[in-house]
A and B are shown apart, each in its own frame.
Chain A
Amino acid sequence: MDMETLLSYEWSMMAPEFTILIIATVLSLVDLFADKKIDRKLFGWFGAAGIGIALFFLFSQIGHEPAMILANTYRLDAFSLSFKILLLIGALLVLLMGVSYEAKGELLYRGEFYYLLMSALLGAMMMASSADLITLFVGLELLSISSYILAGTRKKSTQSNEAAMKYVINGGISSAFTLFGLSYIYGLTGSTNLADISREISNIAPENGLVLLSVAFILTFVGLAFKISTVPFQMWAPDVYQGAPIPVTVFLSVVSKTAGFVIILRVLLSVFPFAQGLEANTSLLQSMMIFISVLAGITMIAGNTVALKQRNIKRLFAYSSIAHAGYLLVPFVAFSEMMFESMWFYLAAYLLMNIGAFAVIQVMSEHSHSEDISIFAGLFYRRPWMAVMMTIFLLSLAGIPGTAGFIGKLNIFIGALFSDPSRYILAAVMMGTTVISYFYYFGVMAQMFMRPSGSAVPIRMPVGVTIAMVFCAAGTITLGLFPGVVLDFFQTQFNFAEMFY
């Protein structure tokens, strides 16, 4: 590789990534040399501005022809663009929450939080854009390792330490599985480039390659299931979510999960639809759908039933986020034309409602130094607007009309019935578990509206977290009442056929 080829690359394609990289580097250097007295919260605003610039670059790229640079390892297409928007907005909201986060004496190195968040975001963006197994894995690890440290940023808290430890062990195991699976894909096709793999893999004769391919599939999927916390790799989530600082919990449950879905879509869709499946004229992906649908079903059931009895609000939302990952697998299993659209929309809705709900949780748990569900008691009579916003988030999570969550669920549901073959059972499981979820979501609502509040101390609402909350509430309602705006934009601007080579 000489200078000329290096300069001939269209580097502007990576402008959003570079922005984030520069911000992360600058922040870490400033943190090292700047006076200890300087409030590190400034970093948060700086980072937020950086993400804003990155978003600007990203939006200017919409409509760009699909292109690849760096020896076809980095790809810009509708798929990567649309999901990077979610990643950036999610990270921006997490940053805003982080600025307002106070953990009495437990958060010793606040600066670290910001630049580790940035590097994790960079990893997630790389995952969305990569067109090569190696790049993909590097992105995955960049995200994972940053997150491991983030989970332990409350240095003096044993819970946070436990969370980080469990996360790193579980994460290590999952990476091992993924890597093992990917190595088989490489072994079978002789390439790490996704385009080459998709070409080569169709040549493998089913009579001798099927076992290895299926092992590759299963191990890759199970390993990646860790990131999206679905069965069988979901158990870490409650422990880690509970122990980590709330902004990190949000990051893990939203941004990291979105990245997980991105990588699953990217790998599984560029590799396995082209491989021969069990029966003639079916792809391996189709043959494997039965397993994924069983896993999705168990995920929805497990997440929702276990959440019923939770008193710790962070744990409750951890289980609920497991259940939502289960819902998100349904369109993947249904594999209809609407798959990308419904997954993207549900992820967007999930981003808004989950971050919003956690923002309220952060304010309330900081106020009362507790994470018990009873901290919401009588919220409506103390901070009516906050209670109304929390109600919006809860209704959206439960999938009640008028909110983004409802449109998302309806999309998924219709997709599951429309697809060929129809996924009736999975749709029924989704309905049934949604009913179960009403129990705990409405339980929180009952606390806010129907319990007397214990104290009259005014609740402090810091700027950052309030902005995040209001943004999420407005977004949830807008997507719920006028999803057409976003869906039409999505259909006209993003052509997902681009994803295939």
Chain B
Amino acid sequence: MLFAVLLPFLASIFIPFLAKWKDRIHTGIFVTLVPLVIFIYFIQFLGTGFQPETRSYSWIPSLDMNMNFYLDGLSLLFVLLISGIGTLVAFYSIYYLHKSEQLGNFYVYFLIFMGSMLGVVLSDNVFVLYSFWEFTSLSSFLLIGYWNHRRGSRYGALKSMLITVFGGLSMLGALVFMSVITNTASIQQMITEKSIILNHEFFPLIMGLLLLGAFTKSAQFPFHIWLPDAMEAPTPVSAYLHSATMVKAGIYLVARNIPIFADSEWFFVIVSGFGIITLMWASYMAVRQTDLKGILAFSTISQLGMIMAMLGFGTKVAIFAAVFHILNHATFKGSLFMVAGIVDHETGSRDIRKLGGLMTFMPITATLAILATFSMAGFPLPFLNGFYSKEMFFDATLDLESTSNALAGFMQQALPYLAVFGSIFTFVYSMYFFFGTFRGKAQISELPKKPHEAPIGMLISPAVLVAGVIIIGLFPELINKPFISHAAASIYGGEIDKHIYFWHGINLPLIMSIAVLAFGTILVLTRTKWEAIYRFIPGPLSMNKVYDGSVKRAETYSERITKTYMNGSLGRYFRLILGAILIITFGFMAATTGFEFNMAYSAEITLAEILVAIMMAVAAVGTILAKNRVAAIIILGVVGYGLAILFVIYRAPDLALTQLIVETVTVALFLMVFNHLPQLKMRKQAWSTKALNLIISIGFGALMTLVAISAHSSKWFDSISSYFVENSYKLGGGDNIVNVILVDMRGLDTLFEIAVLGIAALGIYGMVKLRSNKEEDA
């Protein structure tokens, strides 16, 4: 099983080499073999006696990330879809993609996608599942952007990537949460411990995050907007990723987690609610499209919505119908995409307004199309599988479990009507798709190419799928017991015994089907009259506008922040830093009562000291107000000299002397340096900036003062001065304590200090000399 998952990855390594011979042999031929082998391997599991299997391969035990594969009915359904449709699509692409294209890249992405998708549906370990999940998004990004010379391609690729990866990340959040509270990374174990998850205080958050992942991936309203843009991808990709497999990963995720979440009433409300809205909205939107693939994209969205809604119901019938429809949808939609690709390939256009009357030119394609479209529309014919699952869907909407929740109760009342409404439009766009393309008047002159039937190889894949439509339609029981029942049972968590009949007698679902048929036909026939409405709605409501708007807004917002605060101005940076310190420190001080103000250790304050202090304060303020640099430096010097006077008052003449010298030298140095600087210009600053500066500087000054007072007010150690008083004569033999400390007790320090100063002086000398040399040169 591990090999089955890894096979596509291994094969992708060889593709670039095989692609070198693409002129002789089309790379797609090798690629087709890969899903075929996988399909053959997994089809052996099929049968009535199927039992779930597990395979474990240890990978990163320390993080509880192990390759634990779990193959039950649900996984098997998806695995067969992925490999089966994969084979057909790969085969189809041989004819679709010309040898002159970059085949190597295409098939590498294609195989990476296939392997990741297999990994998603087989992994039991949530982290591994997430890893593969993101790789499907990534390969989808690369495949959508394959024809990257088109602007639409690049836009669509980035959009789909951002939306699905965002969803994936929120899903990871939910998965990590679940694994943290249940202490396991295995989904099956989580199911056995679901009560922990259901009763957790963050349960709504967990479910919300998980569903966000599923909804973005499966293009549920309002996240559906990426899927229509993803249609820029080559048609085989659309058929494979954006219809049959990848977009169903969200469905898979919801189905996989139903055993955990189904007990919550909100699960029904959210999943079915979004599902049914998606169904209605997208089937309505599909009618408005003019691009063939656009119609199919919205149709896919609406069908996904329908499946999602059924999963939300959670009843036996609904789950069975959901599984059945997953399979049916893959068959008819896959073939329709291939038909659209053929039309595009042979006529050069996908615009339904230019197409028409192609039936005479391409009869085989048209036959395939008519069968698939009518199956999609749910036309009541005994050889179309679409009808069965649609009928079951109606049945399911009528047969819901009773609930006490008011919202859920209301929804149950409304659901049958909404389902019929959505299905009417499904019928309308199906007819529109077929008749618009193949019937009516041919406009050959409008088309870039003269239409003709496709080569036989290109028709094989859609034909196989349409054959599937008919076989399932004729003999639904053939796949029921050995296949669908297992899948439904593994979602429901119990045996499901259901028979599929064409004729149920005259009952409510049948009446609903007839209503769809009747209203649908009226709408199709009177289509021209409705066009005004189709054009008008949704208009500004479109979610695309929201996406584009938010991307744009994020960018302008980002630009604004950059301009306002990371603009390269040091002054502004400094203001922010000090502001942050102020907020944090004062915030913390407000939370404590630890501030201390204690005069016990202070000597009495004399008038002289106060006068000196005032002088220093005035000088400090004066420095800021000074109009030129020299004045500012000299005024700043006053502060230093004031300090020297304070030393004198405190009877430390040597310190005062040092201070005087240092101050003089600094002022002199400053003057010397400033001489070389450009003229100081008073910059015009906004009043608000000045005020902010003032507040921050005063605040910071206040903070430092408070800290200093507080520090001075707390004394926990004995002063060390008594030691020096006692020992400096005894040990150093000097009367002046300061001198003894400097030259004796820490003599080595002093020596090094002198050395450092000497080196600095040499450096300065060197620089001055360098400068004068240069001037001489000049």
Contact = CB atoms under 8 A, between A and B. Distances in A.
Nearest to B591: A278
A273 interface: no
B707 interface: yes
B257 interface: no
Interface string A456-485: 000000000000000000000000001110
A63 B19 CA distance: 51
A305 B558 contact: yes
B60 A214 contact: no
A452 B148 CA distance: 8
Interface string B177-204: 1001000000000000000000000100
Interface in A422-469: 424, 427-428, 431, 434-436, 438-439, 442-443, 446, 449-452
A410 B177 CA distance: 12
A121 interface: no
Interface string A63-102: 0000000000000000000000000000000000000000
A57 interface: no
Contact of A305 (B63, B561, B592): B561
B290 interface: no
Given A207-B593, A211-B707, A222-B577, A305 B585 contact: no
Contacts of B272: none
Interface residues of A, number: 75
Interface in B575-598: 576-577, 579-581, 584-585, 587-589, 591-596
Which of A239, A307, A488: most chain B Cβ within 10 A? A239
A414 B176 contact: yes
B711 A184 contact: yes
B714 interface: yes
Given A438-B161, A450-B153, A215 B130 contact: no
Interface stretch (B335-343, B456-464, B564-572): B564-572
Contacts of B176: 410, 413-414, 417
B570 A484 contact: no
A488 B170 CA distance: 29
Interface string A400-421: 1110001100110110011000
B714 A208 contact: yes
B165 interface: yes
Nearest to A318: B566
B601 interface: no
B705 interface: no
Nearest to B130: A401
B577 A233 contact: yes
A214 B585 contact: yes
B60 A278 contact: no
Contacts of B587: 291
Contact of B145 (A204, A395, A424, A446): A446
A418 B585 CA distance: 29
B581 A222 contact: yes
Interface stretch (B133-141, B242-250, B447-455): B133-141
B135 A402 contact: yes
A302 B573 CA distance: 14
A487 B162 CA distance: 31
A402 B594 CA distance: 51
A406 B131 contact: yes
Taking chain B's interface residues, is the majority helix, strand, or loop, or is none over half, making it mixed? helix
A484 B63 contact: yes
Contacts of B142: 449
A488 B62 contact: yes
Nearest to B147: A450
A238 to B, nearest CB: 6
A236 interface: yes
Interface in A287-313: 287-288, 291, 295, 302, 305-310
A484 B62 contact: yes
Interface residues of B, number: 70
A6 interface: no
A231 B584 CA distance: 12
Contacts of B141: 442
Given A211-B592, A222-B580, A487-B62, A308 B158 contact: no
B224 to A, nearest CB: 19
B135 A401 contact: yes
Contacts of A239: 568
Nearest to B562: A306
B432 to A, nearest CB: 33
B158 A446 contact: yes
A215 B596 CA distance: 13
A212 interface: yes
B62 A450 contact: no
B166 A170 contact: no
Contacts of A170: 570, 573
Contacts of B594: 206-212, 214
A166 interface: yes
A451 B565 CA distance: 33
B581 to A, nearest CB: 6
Contact of B595 (A211, A309, A417, A435): A211
A349 to B, nearest CB: 14
Nearest to B128: A401
B555 interface: yes
Contacts of A173: 574, 577
A308 to B, nearest CB: 4
B419 to A, nearest CB: 34
Given A190-B717, A434-B169, A401 B577 contact: no
B554 interface: yes
Contacts of B130: 401
Interface in B270-299: none
Contact of A308 (B166, B170, B558): B558
A220 to B, nearest CB: 11
B31 to A, nearest CB: 19
A235 interface: yes
A208 B130 CA distance: 52
Given A207-B594, A402-B131, A417-B176, A484 B707 contact: no
Interface string A480-501: 0011100110010000000000
B154 interface: yes
Contacts of B554: 305, 308, 436, 439
Interface in A137-186: 166, 169-170, 173, 177, 184
A232 B148 contact: no
Nearest to B131: A401
A306 B566 contact: yes
Nearest to B554: A308
B131 A407 contact: no
B200 to A, nearest CB: 12
Interface string B142-154: 1001001100011
Contacts of B202: 424
Given A232-B576, A442-B158, A410 B714 contact: no
A212 B158 CA distance: 52
A219 interface: yes
A401 B562 contact: no
Contact of B588 (A214, A310, A411, A483): A214
A51 to B, nearest CB: 29
20 contacts: A173-B574, A188-B716, A208-B594, A210-B594, A214-B592, A218-B584, A218-B588, A222-B584, A232-B577, A235-B565, A238-B566, A306-B558, A308-B554, A400-B165, A413-B176, A436-B554, A438-B161, A484-B59, A484-B61, A488-B62
Given A187-B711, A400-B165, A442-B162, 11 more contacts: A211-B707, A212-B594, A232-B581, A305-B558, A305-B561, A309-B555, A401-B131, A402-B135, A452-B149, A482-B60, A491-B62
Interface of A: 166, 169-170, 173, 177, 184, 187-188, 190, 204, 206-212, 214-215, 218-219, 222, 231-233, 235-236, 238-239, 278, 287-288, 291, 295, 302, 305-310, 395, 400-402, 406-407, 410-411, 413-414, 417-418, 424, 427-428, 431, 434-436, 438-439, 442-443, 446, 449-452, 482-484, 487-488, 491
3 closest Cβ pairs, A-B complex: A401-B131, A232-B580, A210-B594
